[in-house]
Every structure is written in C-alpha cells, then in structure tokens.
Amino acid sequence: MNETIAAILLGILEGLTEFLPVSSTGHLILATELFGFEQREWEVFNIAIQPAAILAIMVLYWRTFWDVAKGLLGLEQGALHFVRNLLVAFFPAVLLGLAFGDVIEMMLGNAMLVCWSLIIGGLAILAIERWANPPATGAGVAGVPLRISVLVGLVQCLAMIPGVSRSGATILGAMAFGVDRKTAAEFSFFLAIPTLSGATVYQLAKRGADLTANDIELIGIGSAVGFVTALIVVKLFVAVVTKIGFAPFAWYRIVLGVAGLAWLGLR
C-alpha cells in the first residue's frame, strides 16, 4: 500500500478511536499489521500523530481551558482543583513509563496481545456497566475528589498494555469510583493532554533524530486527518454515552478481538 494512503487511513483511525474506549493504539497496531508494514518502522508515526487528537480537545473545549486559565490567575479554588486533579492523575503514568519504558515498547509490536486485551477489556466494560451505579450528574472535573483522581491515574497505567484503551480505562475506572458518565468522559479527554503529550515528547526525544523528511511529511498528513476526525467524533461520543452507555463499544471490542485472533491464527 502507498505510504501516503496508509498515513491518511491511520490518521482517520487515530481520530476515530483515540477518545473511544476501544484502544487507538491497538487499532493502529492491527492496521499496521494488516497493511503488511513493519511494526517498528511505524511505531513513532503512531505515537507522533496523537497530539492532533489533543489539539481537537483543546479546540472543542477552549472555553473550559480559558476559564481555568483565568481562574488560575485569580487563584480560584475550582481552577486549582481542576489542574490538581489532572496532575495527580498524570503522575503515575510518568513513573511507570520511565521505569518500564523498554518493556512497554516491546509490547507495542504484539498484535496477539492487542486482541486479547480488546476481548478482556470488552468484558470488563460490560461488567462495570452492569454493576457500577454512578450519579446522573456531577460537579465536573474540578469537583472530583483528590483520592478518586489518584485512583483514575493508577487505572490509566493499565493502558500501557496495547489494546487496553487509555480512554476506556480512565472513563470506566472513574465511573466505578462513583463519577458520573459526562464528567468521567471529560476527565479522560483532559487527562489525555499531558499523557499523550508526554508520551510523544518521550518517543521523539529517543528516536526523533532518526526521522527522515518523508517520515515528517507522513506524520503531518496523519496528524491533519486525525485532528479533523477527532473533532467530529468527540462530540458524538459524549452524546452517545450519555444516552445509551458503553455496551456497544464493549461488544465491538470483543468481536474485533475474536476476529483478530482468528485472522492472526490463519495467516
């Protein structure tokens, strides 16, 4: 397959899946495998296009970030709690990433692990949907207790296993701890900003010098496509989960995981 077309398709896939509980990394790994590309050659691309999804969140929620910025200047409690919650939730991933970065990178090329993670994660979503009983509304990200923010950060670390889904782990984890659906989704969106930015900076610092002009062009194409796609998906996602929940995403994960195992076994 032509590399430019592949970059466009992977960009669309990133934008579609980054904020859904279906694992964007898992989808990109399986897609790279399906295209017949070497996983190692596309690992940096798959990570480097993630900031496009971050930019989409910043555009969609610009008013929230503007209000937080103004609140910080005035030392308002709501703004301070907003930033505090994101930082304490981000910190566990930093520690784990620095301590086990090489192990995590080794897992990124394991398509079989992705499939099993998709299936197990789908079953976990169904279980949490059945037994968790979050309130209908909440006080927003700033109103999440510090203890819950720490727990969400610990749960996010599970997403270092490809196929688990960072958004799925944080959203469903927050709901299991008593956070309402909308706040849990927005917490996950905002937490993606430091988490994905950190992962991208870390990878580019390690391997950015090896990037060619062609690599940078492909990353630019994938990022642009991912940004536009994420803009559309995020708003739709919040509307869907508020009304019907996460079960459709759970069944999708299970079907995709089983299909992936079958395909990998028959190759």
pLDDT band per the 50, 70, 90 thresholds, residue 76: very high
Say how far apart CA 132 and CA 174 lie, in whole Å: 10
Of residues 267 and 173, the one with the higher pLDDT is 173
* Tally of structural domains, the chain: 1
Nearest to 144 by CA among 167, 165, 175: 175
Residue range(s) defining the domain that contains residue 249:
3-266
pLDDT band per the 50, 70, 90 thresholds, residue 224: very high
Angle between helices 146-156 and 181-207 (to 10 degrees): 50
136-186 residue pLDDT tens: 566 789 999 999 999 999 999 998 888 888 888 999 899 889 898 889 889
Q: Are the beta carbons of 199 and 56 closer than 8 angstroms?
A: no
Say yes or no to pLDDT of 40 above 70: no
Q: What is the pLDDT of residue 39?
A: 64
The CA distances from residue 86 to 142, 156, 160, 194, in Å, are: 9, 12, 18, 8
How many residues are present in the chain?
267
Q: What is the pLDDT of residue 1?
A: 66
Kindly calculate the radius of gyration of the chain based on its CA atoms and give it in whole angstroms: 18
> Residue 125 is encoded by which pair of tokens?
């979503």
Question: What region does 23 belong to: left with phi over 0, alpha with psi -120 to 50, or beta?
Answer: left
Say how far apart CA 54 and CA 195 lie, in whole Å: 10
Least confident of 31-45, 82-96, 143-157: 31-45
